[in-house]
Structure 1
Amino acid sequence: MIEFQNVSFQYNDLDILKNFHITFRRNQISCLMGPSGVGKTTIANMMAKLIFPQKGQVTGIENAVYSYVFQEPRLLPWYSVYESIDFVLKDVYPIQERKKVVLKYLEMVGLESFRDYEPEQLSGGMAQRVSLARAFAYPSNVLIMDEPFKGLDMKLKQEMLSSFQRLWTESKRTVLFITHDIEEAISLSHEIYVLKNSPVEILENIVGVQGKDNHLIRNKLQNIHLL
């Protein structure tokens, strides 16, 4: 479990976090929702050890190994689909094992026949699937996803959600998932935190999402958004 214990953090004399507490359960998908600028990315960056508490502590990340999926695929233009995944594994596996891992994850996102394509030849949805495959192929135990499906049309989004669910079921890890989209949160998450204000407060915490009535959760989240 990753736990923020009485964490405080200021930026330009503005309190972003103040005596803040939140927990993220191991090998579960925790979603952060809330308005832009509320502090979601600050929490993600602190979990990733890119910034550090000025007071308090974050526990459970001592042995964390990270991978990321961002809103943009962030593929290097001179690497093929295959090379984009192979590149992050060069210091992890010997060449023959790397090949098996890369092909396995390309198959899981339906891109095995596009292995030699370069980013400019891919649609936006295909490029983001490469990004997903790359994140899961890397042997991390913490995955941070910052609005990875934003801007995709409904059909592409559903394909991405299905790809993510397949990948996570095959290779479970602790996931921090940031989104503004209620349907994404309900579809993927085990736990949803709705944040407000600055310094950050938890307005709502919904646990056991996958075992609950989606209609009730949807109504609750929609009502919160209207506040």
Structure 2
Amino acid sequence: MKEVMKMKVRLKEEVLKDLNKAADFNRAAFSKNKTLVINLMSSPGSGKTTLLEETVKALSNEFAIAVIEGDLATDLDAQRLRAHGIKTVQINTVGGCHLDARMIAKVLPELDLKKVDILFIENIGNLVCPSGYDLGQDYKVVILSVPEGNDKIPKYPVMFRRTDVTVLNKIDLLPYVSFNLEEARNDLHAINPHAQFTALSAKTGEGMEEWINWIKDVYHQFVKH
């Protein structure tokens, strides 16, 4: 029994080592081509794709943008993004609950990174698994929506502890649901005092300017380095 346990631990270590190598490979490719990479994570239904569509509209005149779209099945979200003229590469995990660095590395040949200023990776809708995997990105962003309620940040602390920015989406619904904006802000800062918190509505455009300006700022900082 003890020997079996050792084999399990060894296998896990080897898998993680392999994933870390893939993440380093991705990071080197992104850095070489000066491509800023933002990993977008959320639960299903948070409005992640809608936010990405509106973000693309706001930035595409200034930046060359591409997307890696992760889903269990279908390319429905990828179709929405391609309709805006954005190069979008689909990854279907066929049941897997997150993207990993090897998946990203496998599709990189489909992108001409020399011509991509900003690459968004839209991860699988899940508040657990995606947080633990390094894809080689520069920033992790988690999207929370008002209808999900105030309990998500304290209930899923690992996700929010490991992100650089938390975007609260669908604030146009605040008058209609029970959600305390200040409580969410305080919960986030208790878990991750260095994380940025921004509230917006991708549907109405309210608050989008702060989010767009953050992307522009980190891009220009990235290029300088």
Give TM-score, length-normalised by structure 1.
0.30
Bigger strand fraction: 1
Bigger helix fraction: 2
Q: Using CA pairs under 8 Å that are at least 6 residues apart, name the structure with larger relative contact order, 1 or 2.
A: 1
